[in-house]
Structure 1
Amino acid sequence: MSSIQTEVVKMIAIDIDGTLLTPQKQISPRTQATIRAAQEAGIIVTLATARRYENSKPFADLLGIQIPLITCDGALILDHPAGIVRHTQLLPAELAQQTVDILVAHRLQPIIHHISGAIEETWSGHAEFDNLGLERYFREFPRVKRKPHDVLCAGQPDPIRVVSFASEEAIERVTPAIAQLPCAWNTIQRGNYGCAEITVMQHSCSKATGVAILASHLGIPMTQVMAIGDNNNDREMIEIAGWGVAMGQAPEAVKASANAVTATNLEDGVAVAIERYALLR
């Protein structure tokens, strides 16, 4: 991609984990101050994350964000701080059930993420398929609706996405079968719950489509959007933005898709990128 910036940045979309946050899950004082400076300069700042809204909004509150957040890898955009659903990209229930069937055949527990009004819901199968990674997830989201696997999605409302947590080897084994479905999917080698993850969504859904939808709503051309991320699920967002920035610790494929590579999340990489490319300091 071009390394020459030609447009003024009017909107910044920032991934949360591995990007906005330090490894200790904090936003550094420098990053907070730099984001505040960008907002004071009239630049719109939002978050574009794989997280649910429920565990994203504390960071948006801390940063004083008062525009929609892009959550669930682009599948759910909600006004903030009101929490009102602005846009969804839902996975058809029939396709979600096919995903469930594949995961169960590999003895992986499916997690189904729904939105009901403005309430996020977690559905899953019976507990015999639970594993260590799920224990950590369920501690964070303890309200789980349990259903038999064969009707977990069949005949149910279209969900936001289907997720599974397991060892990296188990996720690698199930990926070829998931890849045969007419869906969008991504994997993370080690996520917030200490294990690998696979996420399955509607076929056109990604952080990139979420950013594009929000930018269009705000009347901002993609050429004036900066996106900052560090992982495989950030790659399309980085590619579609007028100025895509990869974190210093990002995989080489993600760095190759970016216009620029900033410092790591241990070194205030988000602040460095905003100062250099948005505030032009």
Structure 2
Amino acid sequence: MIKEPEAIKMIAIDIDGTLLTPQKQIAPRTQAAIQAAQAAGMVVTLATARRYENSRQFADILGIQIPLITCDGALILDHPDGTVLHTQLLPAHLAQQAVDILVAHQIQPVIHHIAGSIEETWSGHAEFDNTGLDGYFREFPQVLRMPHHLLCVDQPDPIRVVAFADEEAIERVAPAISQLPCSWNRITRGNYGTAEITVMQQQCSKATGIALLAKHLDIAMTEVMAIGDNHNDLEMIEAAGWGVAMGQAPERVKASANAVTATNLEDGVAVAIERYALLSTRNADSNSRKRATCL
């Protein structure tokens, strides 16, 4: 029998494969459940691998007016004004080592920077571009190009280094990346139709991002519910007081969770919020009224 969570004060929701349907929409039931949680006094935020630039529209739809956890925890920005609240930057010398490894495997590195509140995209010259990058560069066309060997040398510490390639190429490069003193994750198929690998500061993850935001809001991690569907959600699902895996999540992610909800085709986020956040609030109110009656 699944134990019940403590009273939930904060809900952190992954975007792709979790909040969104396969058609990249927020289902009406999911939006209604999130709004009910907000009305009940819970803080709802997004914890995503996406950049702020392509995350904020979903926060606007949901009426979120607190910081968002973006770039797999490396960048937390206030919403809706976009002010940077916290960063976990990758040291530039390690970023260059990651770049060198990717280039040795003929994979184009993409470097993410934050300059004030402006997100920047840097990359090498086009000899290692591939079709998997086409969609990404269409979405973020303002790319600063420079020689690969100078991408991070004597440059500011970046948010992260990412790469988009076929699954076999990412598999080949992963062992070398894993030897660096950094945090990294990979997914087999991302938003741009390719496998992806991400290199970040050594302690960085969605879990550390959630912990930083929870501390900022004076909320204990035991009072946080995290919902996700992929390997880069694993740490936050494990770290939260109540971790929920989507129904289509890999088995390893499901095994790390307190509960498994329905898929993103079946309103899985709404089901989780209704079952574990809103119901626990109603139960707490009911128990409180019972204690008051006894007194």
Normalised by the length of structure 2, the TM-score is 0.94
CA contact (8 A) 2:5 2:276 kept: no
Question: SS of 1:120's equivalent?
Answer: strand
Distance in 2 of aligned mates of 1:87 and 1:140:
25
After superposition, the C-alpha distances for 1:21-68 in whole angstroms (9 at most, x for unaligned) are 000000001101110000000000000000000000000000000000
Alignment of 1:244 with 2:235, yes or no, is no
Distance in 2 of aligned mates of 1:149 and 1:171:
18
Q: How does 1:114-129 map to 2 (within 5 A)?
A: 114-129=113-128
Q: How does 1:87-102 map to 2 (within 5 A)?
A: 87-102=86-101
Distance in 2 of aligned mates of 1:11 and 1:223:
10
Shift of residue 156, structure 1, vs aligned partner: 0.4
Q: How does 1:1-281 map to 2 (within 5 A)?
A: 3-280=2-279
Shift of residue 5, structure 1, vs aligned partner: 2.2
Q: How many pairs are equivalent? A: 280
Question: SS of 2:120's equivalent?
Answer: strand
Question: SS of 2:265's equivalent?
Answer: coil
CA contact (8 A) 2:5 2:242 kept: no
Paired AA for residue 256 in structure 1: A
CA contact (8 A) 2:66 2:78 kept: yes
Question: SS of 1:279's equivalent?
Answer: helix
Shift of residue 6, structure 1, vs aligned partner: 4.1
Which of these two proteins has the greater Rg computed from alpha carbons? 2
Q: Is there any run of 5+ residues in structure 1 with no aligned partner, and where?
A: none
Question: SS of 1:128's equivalent?
Answer: helix
Shift of residue 3, structure 1, vs aligned partner: 3.3
Paired AA for residue 234 in structure 2: R
After superposition, the C-alpha distances for 1:112-152 in whole angstroms (9 at most, x for unaligned) are 00000000000000011101111110000000000100000
Distance in 1 of aligned mates of 2:165 and 2:206:
23
**What is the root-mean-square deviation of aligned Cα atoms in Å?**
0.8
Question: SS of 2:243's equivalent?
Answer: strand
Distance in 2 of aligned mates of 1:6 and 1:251:
23
Paired AA for residue 228 in structure 1: I
Question: SS of 2:11's equivalent?
Answer: strand
Paired AA for residue 194 in structure 1: G
CA contact (8 A) 2:226 2:244 kept: yes
Question: SS of 1:35's equivalent?
Answer: helix
Distance in 1 of aligned mates of 2:81 and 2:207:
23
Q: Is there any run of 5+ residues in structure 2 with no aligned partner, and where?
A: 283-295
Question: SS of 2:21's equivalent?
Answer: coil
Distance in 2 of aligned mates of 1:132 and 1:193:
10
After superposition, the C-alpha distances for 1:177-222 in whole angstroms (9 at most, x for unaligned) are 0000000000000000000000000000000000000001000000
Where in structure 1 do 4 or more consecutive aligned residues deviate above 2 Å?
A: none
Distance in 1 of aligned mates of 2:105 and 2:264:
35
Paired AA for residue 203 in structure 1: Q
| Equivalence for 2:292 | none
Distance in 1 of aligned mates of 2:156 and 2:235:
28
Distance in 2 of aligned mates of 1:228 and 1:6:
14
Paired AA for residue 12 in structure 2: A
Distance in 1 of aligned mates of 2:269 and 2:23:
15
Shift of residue 4, structure 1, vs aligned partner: 1.1
Distance in 2 of aligned mates of 1:87 and 1:6:
28
Distance in 2 of aligned mates of 1:97 and 1:3:
46
Normalised by the length of structure 1, the TM-score is 0.99
